[in-house]
Structure 1
C-alpha cells in the first residue's frame, strides 16, 4: 500500500490536473461508468463537528475508495483547516487497500474544479465580472479555478465578516484582476458569474438580487439544513447538479424541493451536458445554477492522480499491510 501525505499531494496535483479529473468524472457518471454510494454524514455532538464518508466506484477508470472527514469549525483557532479529510483507495480486483492520501488540499482543488466545470459549460461566453460570496479557506481556490474559464475583467466579493475579504483581494491580484468589496445587492446586479462558498444556514442571495443571464455556482450547501440561496431564486433558474439525489437531500435544491417549488425531474446532471445528452444554457437571459454538493467520485479521481504522480516521482511511501 502507498502513502501520499498531505504535503506531497499539495505539491503534485495542479489545478489543471484536478479540473481534468473532475470533468472526466462528470462525464463518466453520466455514461453510467461510475457511480457514488450513499453518503454518511452525521453531527458528532462533539467540537461542533460534522463527520462522514463519501465513496464510489469508477469502473472505467478502475478507481474504488472513500473519503472520510468533515468540518470542525474550531480548527481555525488551532491553526488547522476547518475541513479535514483523508482518501483511501482500494484495488477493485481484490479489495485490498491500495493507497491512503491526504485529502485536505485535494478537497479544495476538486471543489473549485467542479464549479469551474460548470462555468466552462454553463456561463455565458461573454461573462466578464466574477462575484464571490464567502471568503473562507475555499474561496481563493474558487477564484483561481474560475479565472481560468472566462476572461474576467474584475472580481466582486462579499463576506459576513468583511475583514476576511483581504484573502480574496490577494487571490484576485495573483491572477491580475482588480478586486472590489461590495454589498450583496451590488454583487448580484453586476456579476455575470457568482460563486457562493459559505457554511451558512440561511439565504444570502434573494431572487430579485440576481440579474438575468447570470450563472451561479452554489458550492457551500452540502448538508441537510445548510442554505445559501432563496428557494424562489433556485426555482426560477435552469438547475444543474453533480448528483440529483444528493442535491435534493443535502444540496441547495433541498429547500426549493421541500417548498414544492422544484421537482427532481427539473434538475439536470451536469455530466449529461458534457456528454451531449442534455442541453446546457439555452438562452442568454436565463439564470443557470449549478448545485455543487460534492461527490465522492471527484475526491477519488484527484486522489488517484496524486498517487500516480507520487509513484512516478518516487514520492509515495510504500508500506506492508
Structure 2
C-alpha cells in the first residue's frame, strides 16, 4: 500500500493537473464509463461536526475508492483546517487497498478545478470581469483556477464581512488583476463570470442582479438546505452540473426542483459538453449556470494523479498491508 501524506501534496500536483483530471472525470461520467455511489453525510453529534463518504468507480481510469471526511468548525482554534479528509484508493482488479492520500489540499484543488472546467467550456470567450462571492478558505483557490481560463482584467468580490476580502485582493495583485470590493448588486452588474463559494442557507445572488451573457458557477452548495442563488436565476439560466442526482437533492438546484421551477431533465451534465454531445453556450446573451456539487470521482482522479507523481519522485511511502 502507498501512503502519500498531506505535507508533500502541495509540491506534487498543480492546478493545471487538477483541471485535466477533473475534466476527464466529467467526460467519463457523461459517457457512463464512471459513476458515483450514494453520498453519506451525517451530523455525528460531537464537536458540531459533519462527517461523510463520497465514493465511486471510473472504469476508464480504473479509479476505485472513497473520500472520508467532513467539517469540524472548531478546528481553526486548534490550528487545523476545518475541512478534513482522506482519500482511499483500491485496486479495481483485486479490491486491495492501493493507496491512502491526504485529501485536504486535493479537495480544494478539485473544487476549484471543477469551476474552472465549467468556465472553460461555458463562459463567453470575451469575459473580462470575474466576480467572487465569498471569502472563505476555498475562495482563493477558486480565484486562481478560474482566472486562468479567460483574459480577465478585473476581479470584483463580495463577502458579508468585507474586511475578509483582503486575502483575495492579495491573490488578484499576484495575478496582476485589478480588484474591487463591491455590493452584491454591483457585482452582478459588472461580472461576466461569477463564482459563488459560501456555506449559505439563504439565497445571496438573485436573478435580477445577473446580466445577460453571464456564466455562474455555484460551488458552495453540497448539503440539503444550503442555497446561494434564488429560483429566478435558476429559471433564467441554462443549467449544467457535475451529477444531476446530486444537483437535484443536495446541490443548488434542489430548491427549484421542490417548487417545480425546473425538472431534472432541464439539467445537463457538463461532461456532455466536454464530449461534444451538447452545444453548451448557444449565444452571447445566454445565462449559463454550473451547479458544482462535488462528486467522489473528482477526489479519486486527483488522488490517483498524486500517487503517480509521488511514486515517480520517490516521496511516497510503501507499506505491507
Normalised TM-score (structure 1): 0.99
Shift of 1:78: 2.0
* 1:45 CA drift (Å): 2.1
Deviates more, 1:74-83 or 1:279-288: 74-83
CA shift, 1:32, in A, is 1.2
Partner of 1:4: 4
- Aligned residues: CA RMSD: 0.7
Aligned residue in 1 for 2:85: 85
**How far apart in 2 are the matches of 1:109 and 1:299?**
9
User: What is the aligned partner in structure 1 of residue 191 from structure 2?
Assistant: 191
TM-score normalised by length of structure 2? 0.99
Deviations 1:124-152 (A, max 9, x none): 01100000000011001000001110000
1:179 aligned to 2:179? yes
SS of residue in 2 equivalent to 1:42: strand
- Deviation of the 1:235 alpha carbon: 1.4
Shift of residue 82, structure 1, vs aligned partner = 1.4
1:149-184 deviation line (CA, Å, top 9, x unaligned):
000000001111112101110111111111110010
> What's 2:20 paired with?
20
How many angstroms does 1:81 deviate by? 1.3
Encode CA deviations 1:246-279: one digit per residue, 9 max, x unaligned.
Answer: 0000000001111110100000000001111112
> Counterpart in 1 of 2:278?
278
Q: What's the secondary structure of 2:76's corresponding residue?
A: helix
The alpha carbon displacement at 1:48 in A equals 1.9
- The aligned residue for residue 72 of structure 1 is 72
Written as runs of structure 1 = structure 2, the 5 A alignment for 1:239-318 is 239-318=239-318
Work out the CA distance in 2 between the residues paired with 1:166 and 1:46. Answer: 33
Encode CA deviations 1:4-37: one digit per residue, 9 max, x unaligned: 0001112100000000000011101111111111
Question: Tell me, what secondary structure is at the counterpart of 1:290?
Answer: strand
Mapped pair 1:147 → 2:147:
yes
State the 4+ residue runs in structure 1 displaced beyond 2 angstroms. none
Alignment of 1:96-175 (within 5 A): 96-175=96-175
- Offset of 1:315 from its aligned partner? 0.5
Secondary structure (helix, strand or coil) at the match of 1:65 reads strand
Question: Whole-Å Cα distance in 2 between the matches of residues 74 and 284 of structure 1?
Answer: 45
The answer for unaligned runs of 5 or more in structure 1 is: none
